[in-house]
Chains A and B, each alone.
Chain A
Amino acid sequence: MRLGPTADEELFARTVRALLERRCTPRDVRAGFARKRWEELAETGVTGLLVSEEHGGLGLGAGALVAVAAAGGRACAPEPVVEAAVAAALLAGVDADRAAKWLRELAAGTAVAAVRLPVGGPRTGGGPGAVPVAHAAYADLVLVVDGHALHVCPAADACIGPVAGVDPGRGLAHVDISTLSGEPPVALREWTVTRAGWLGAIGAAADLLGAARAMLELTVRYAGQREQFGRAIGSYQAVKHLLADVLIAVEFAHPVVLRAAYSFDHDLPSAGRDAAMAKVFASDAADLAARSCLQVHGAIGYTEECDLVLWLRRVWALSAAWGDAAHHRAAVAADLLGPAPAPPCP
């Protein structure tokens, strides 16, 4: 029995981290998505993690995605690493001729994919086109999942309208597929769609934990320097305990995410529940980190000038993406306790 990254995995994560430390500074994050950086990530294998070796990828699984997505979250990298993995998982369910070109381009870093996959379904009305798609503003390929139908939309053919969002790095856009001509949608197996949703949740969970750790480091540094009443504010217990609770939440979420990846990669019967648990713990931990780190920074944290804001925005968006904590908590509850009882009669 062992639970934790292997030496290989750690080495891979370190390589990606080192690349992002060089090429994805807060100034770079402010400038948004960079195709050059996407290509550099592709050279390490990140963009083709889940693409089969036959198509130029690494043929790895959720375990590797967890290591890499955490590095992305830590650096606040705008590039859609998790989406690339989910796209590969969806395209694996598409017949080879149609998928091969895109899989190769993903792995090579010559294409960027955005994915519209409703996890839990939109809570306000509207079809798949109604909610903006993350990263679609600069994607070359948009995969739109509508029920079991997968629309493989080259960005050039779809009608894409960028939308402002809380995190400018997310590249949100409305995607209107009604104008699409060309090839009809592909019918996916339900299993493929379900698993793609789990993979997105696991990847986002790892990303959120990376972001939470980055915020914590930033805030510890700030609290050690900022003085009030003649002392560093980090020496006060009121501040210490806020940040200690963030570390506890992150530390306990991490093994939950590692387990979810393991269950996914081994097709365990608990894979769905484990993925849901991962997103619950990671979303809650990252939300707590964002809230507490903003509080410790005080007014400076509430400004554009402070780097903290980059991660705050990422977390606010990502915490709700791929199903928020409430959605996944309900999924675990349904698995553990049976279906939710009907609401009381009025």
Chain B
Amino acid sequence: MLAQVTDLIFSATEEDFRREIRDWLARHVPRDPLPSMDTPDGFRAHQRWERQLYDARWAVVSWPEGYGGRGASLVEWLIFEEEYWRSGAPGRVSQNGIFLFAPAVFAHGTEEQRRRILPPMAAGDEIWVQGWSEPGAGSDLAALRSRAVRDERRGGWRLTGQKTWSSRGTYGHRMFGLFRTDARAERQHGLTYFMIDLAADGVTVRPIRQLDGEPGFAEVFLEDVFVPDTDVLGEPGQGWSVAMSTTGDERGLHLRSPGRFLATADQLVRLYGQVSVGTAAGTGTPDAYRDAVVDAWMRAEAYRLYTFRTVTRLGDGQSIGPESSVNKVFWSELDLNLHATAQRLLGPWAETGGRWLDGYLFSLAGPIYAGTNEIQRNVIAERLLGLPKEPKGKASRGLGGGGGAGG
């Protein structure tokens, strides 16, 4: 007799957890949407919201209790995300820190670093900014040229170079990124992972306006910026492997939980209802829109189920590696699809702006950041399917596993 193939029923503990977060959100989510986090007022408003989450211990549920979390399981984290986005709660201004950087701090940081860095990050007091991409290093991250030289006298390093496409860079406080500490080493060798105070001498931040008109990311110029040894994460020269532990999370589960897509899919279904009610009697809504809405909704459901499958595999002791590239291509195209469908439904109203237009513009970035979808398809083809590697240009050897940055 065979055991049950599957159990999609959540346990009583998991259901309690769901009720608790749902109740809290119902009482605390701001009635009106906050201003864009890429404006000065909006940034501060989002920081205050993070503080509220943190004080109620909802900011970083999957972190250990000692650092402000609840030690929640992966399943509970997924439940949190579903409820969070369903409630219409604000976007997470701290997300690049708590989802992308923190896993590296947990994995490679000293206890002193964890105590010093993680709680203010979780509370929204310190907003962290990603320093991966450079003008000459996008999808090919290992081509980066920003460098650091040793300063023995002061016990640290002096950083010089240029980072770009750093989300929240305009108003953020600290940056994590890779710099070349061994001038003779090439590609992914001789890199070191640094944490940089953006208020330090020698740092210049130049905001970059995005498609939506707001300075959502920035270029960061560094001119002989001193960083103490205590702000090196992991061993000098080991930056690449330290960094990969964060990009793995970025492409995989943590940045893109199904919750936000499910919430968008439900909103799309509601929008369809409003639009079809609004059409002239008897004409209905064209079948093509109907198919587009149902396809987008089904894809959001599929993403949820795929994530459940991944969580099950992790629970069974398996690990996810290049599979996260499959995930990344799917969610980024799903997000675009959801918003593009809404734009089509809105027809002549689509250009007038509002949350669907904002979401559409944001979703257009999905196939580009966290490693372009073209790079992801190369990773899928070479590492999952086992197709032969493409001959590389002189300056690059191997995909390097990075597959780019930005975000």
A positions within 8 Å CB-CB of B: 1-9, 12, 58, 60, 63-64, 66-67, 216, 220, 223-224, 231-232, 234-237, 239-241, 243-245, 247-248, 251-256, 258-259, 261-263, 265, 277, 280-281, 329, 332-333, 336-337, 340-345
Which residues of A lie under 8 Å from residue B294 when comparing CB positions? 329, 332-333, 336-337
Pairwise interchain contact B5-A9, C-beta atoms closer than 8 A:
yes
- With A235-B390, A252-B303: A259-B8 Cβ-Cβ less than 8 Å: yes
Q: How far is the CB of B401 from chain A (nearest CB, A)?
A: 16
Pairwise interchain contact A253-B302, C-beta atoms closer than 8 A:
yes
- With A252-B306, A281-B302: A5-B5 Cβ-Cβ less than 8 Å: yes
Q: How far is the CB of B164 from chain A (nearest CB, A)?
A: 25
Pairwise interchain contact A333-B290, C-beta atoms closer than 8 A:
yes
Which residues of A lie under 8 Å from residue B3 when comparing CB positions? 6-9
Q: List 7 A-B contacts (CB under 8 A).
A: A1-B8, A4-B316, A7-B3, A235-B391, A236-B390, A252-B330, A261-B6
Bound Cα distance A141, B377 (Å):
47
Bound Cα distance A5, B2 (Å):
10
Bound Cα distance A216, B298 (Å):
24
Pairwise interchain contact B385-A2, C-beta atoms closer than 8 A:
no
Stretch at the interface among B44-52, B53-61, B281-289, B349-357: B281-289
Query: Does any Cβ of A come within 8 Å of B211's Cβ?
Result: no
- With A2-B7, A240-B381: A337-B273 Cβ-Cβ less than 8 Å: yes
Q: Which of B7, B323, B378 has the most CB of A within 10 A?
A: B7
Q: How far is the CB of B73 from chain A (nearest CB, A)?
A: 10
Query: Does any Cβ of A come within 8 Å of B297's Cβ?
Result: yes
Q: How many A-B residue pairs have CB under 8 A?
A: 184
Beyond the given A8-B3, A234-B387, A263-B8, could you list 9 further A-B residue pairs with CB under 8 A, ordered by the A residue number? Answer: A1-B8, A4-B5, A224-B386, A240-B382, A241-B377, A253-B302, A255-B306, A336-B293, A342-B282
Pairwise interchain contact B312-A3, C-beta atoms closer than 8 A:
yes
Bound Cα distance A216, B385 (Å):
9
Q: How far is the CB of A331 from chain B (nearest CB, A)?
A: 10
Q: Which of A8, A244, A247, A277 has the most CB of B within 10 A?
A: A244
- With A4-B309, A281-B298, A336-B297: A262-B385 Cβ-Cβ less than 8 Å: no
Secondary structure at the A interface, as helix, strand, loop or mixed, is: helix
Which residues of A lie under 8 Å from residue B4 when comparing CB positions? 6, 63
Task: Tally B residues with Cβ within 8 Å of A.
Answer: 60
Bound Cα distance A8, B9 (Å):
20
Pairwise interchain contact B282-A340, C-beta atoms closer than 8 A:
no
Chain B residue nearest to A64 (CB atoms) is B2
Pairwise interchain contact B329-A248, C-beta atoms closer than 8 A:
yes
Q: How far is the CB of B304 from chain A (nearest CB, A)?
A: 9
Interface residues of B in 279-334 (CB under 8 A from A): 282-285, 287, 290-291, 293-295, 297-299, 301-303, 305-306, 308-309, 311-313, 315-316, 323, 326, 329-330
Q: Which of B9, B294, B313 has the most CB of A within 10 A?
A: B294
Query: Does any Cβ of A come within 8 Å of B185's Cβ?
Result: no
Query: Does any Cβ of A come within 8 Å of B10's Cβ?
Result: yes
Pairwise interchain contact A244-B269, C-beta atoms closer than 8 A:
no
Chain A residue nearest to B269 (CB atoms) is A336
Interface residues of B in 24-77 (CB under 8 A from A): 75
Which residues of A lie under 8 Å from residue B323 when comparing CB positions? 251
Pairwise interchain contact A262-B2, C-beta atoms closer than 8 A:
no
Chain B residue nearest to A345 (CB atoms) is B282
Bound Cα distance A217, B283 (Å):
47
Pairwise interchain contact B6-A337, C-beta atoms closer than 8 A:
no
Bound Cα distance A239, B381 (Å):
9
Which residues of A lie under 8 Å from residue B377 when comparing CB positions? 237, 240-241, 244-245
Which residues of B lie under 8 Å from residue A12 when comparing CB positions? 2
Bound Cα distance A152, B166 (Å):
69
Query: Does any Cβ of A come within 8 Å of B84's Cβ?
Result: no
Q: How far is the CB of A113 from chain B (nearest CB, A)?
A: 22
